Structures are given as C-alpha cells and as structure tokens.
Amino acid sequence: MGRGSLDVRLQDGDEVFNRAKLLNIGYTESLKEYDYECFVFSDVDLIPMDDRNTYKCFSQPRHLSVSMDKFGFRLPYHQYFGGVSSMSKEQYLKINGFPNNYWGWGGEDDDIYNRLSSKGMSISRPSGEVGKCRMIRHDRDKQNEPNPQRFDRIAHTRETMSKDGINSLSYRVVKVEKLDLFTRITVDVGKP
C-alpha cells in the first residue's frame, strides 16, 4: 500500500446511515491535511487476501475487491463497484464525487458506476485471484435498512450527478482525534 494516510469517519448519532456521504467527507477532510492525488475508498469490513492487490490509482478508476467470499469469490455483476475502489483526484472530481442522497443500505455503488460510465471512464480491475477479499461477518446495523428509493435514484444518476455530490456536501465535524496510525473524525451528516 505504501506510506499514506488513513482516515476513519464515524457518523455521529443514531440517524440513518449514509456511506456515500461519509466517503465524500473523508475525501474533503483528508485534503485539509495534504494535497493527495489518489484516494482509496474501502468498506471497513473487508480484508484483502493478496498483497499483490496494490491500493493505488490507475489511469482509470479501479475496483479492487473483485472477488469477495460473500459472493463466492466472484464478481456479482459486471457493473459492481462496491467494497474497495480507488480514484485519482481528477477522476473523483470529474464525477462530482459520491452522491449524498443515499440514506440506508444500497445503491450508492451502482450510482458511482453510472457516474463513471457517463463520463466515459471504464473500470479497471485486478484478476479475481489478486482481488480476493474476506468480509468480517456482522449483523446489519439497525440504522442501515435497505433504501427503498435506491432503484429510482440509480435510474436517474445522469440527471442528478451534477447537483448531488462533492459540490453539495454539507456536514458538521463533531470531533477530530489524531491517533498514531489514523485520524478518527466524528461527523454529523444531517438527516434524510
């Protein structure tokens, strides 16, 4: 992975979870520390199983977790961009970051895929052997029920992406803790 920075974002309170908004916040907060050019976005419950899977940026956005145990070590569908991915700052800004309006579980990864493809970018991936990941087993969070609007939102990505993303991000930093190996940032992301 190389020397870098690890930021952990924690959503404050007991409101509905918003993963994509937290990823936008991580991007924004990390740039307050250093002018990074490469960003790796990872679910906290995924463990890479092969150290040849380099967590860096490429000429195209990179989907790094291509074969997870929860999917029988197969890509669940071609457009899947969930789990772990990397993008350069230029790629990220070209798609206006992640959507902020996906509250609850599901949909934001497919929205990102649509954003990337609508801007003419293709997804690069390591081989299934190199891109193996294991998921830490856990119950779904109580505030992370499936988002009933996810399919409608995914269908309208092209119309919404210019106004829903890094350019419309709003949040409040509650606490910042600089620890030896990472920075823990607790944020209030608002409500749906």
Kindly give the confidence (pLDDT) of every residue in the chain, 192 residues in length, as a single tens digit, with 9 standing for 90 and above: 444 555 555 666 667 889 999 999 999 999 998 999 999 999 989 999 999 999 999 999 999 999 999 999 999 999 999 999 999 999 999 999 999 999 988 889 999 999 999 999 999 999 999 999 999 987 666 667 778 888 999 999 999 999 999 999 999 999 999 988 888 899 999 988
Active site residue 50: no
User: Is residue 45 flagged as an active site residue?
Assistant: yes
Q: Which two tokens stand for residue 168?
A: 């419309």
- For the entire predicted model, the pTM comes to 0.89
**140 carries an active-site annotation:** yes
By DSSP bridging, strand 183-188 and strand 172-178 are antiparallel
Amino acid in the structure at residue 172: R
Residue 179 lies in a domain: yes
Domain coverage including residue 140: 7-188
- Which is the catalytic residue, given 7, 12, 29, 43? 43
Residue 1 lies in a domain: no
Q: How far is CA 16 from CA 10, 39, 64, 144, 170, in A?
A: 13, 25, 27, 6, 16
Q: Is residue 129 part of a domain?
A: yes
Q: Please identify which of the residues 62, 68, 103, 109 carries the catalytic annotation.
A: 109
The answer to whether residue 167 sits within a structural domain is: yes
Q: Is residue 2 part of a domain?
A: no
Give the full edge-to-edge strand order of the sheet including 62-63.
38-42, 84-88, 62-63
- In sequence order, what are the residues at sequence separation of 6 or more whose Cβ sits closer than 8 angstroms to the Cβ of residue 27? 39, 92, 97, 166
Residue 152: CB atoms within 10 Å = 10
For residue 109, indicate whether it is catalytic. yes
Give how many domains the chain has, as a whole number: 1
| 164: annotated active-site residue | no
> Domain of 98: which CATH number?
3.90.550.10
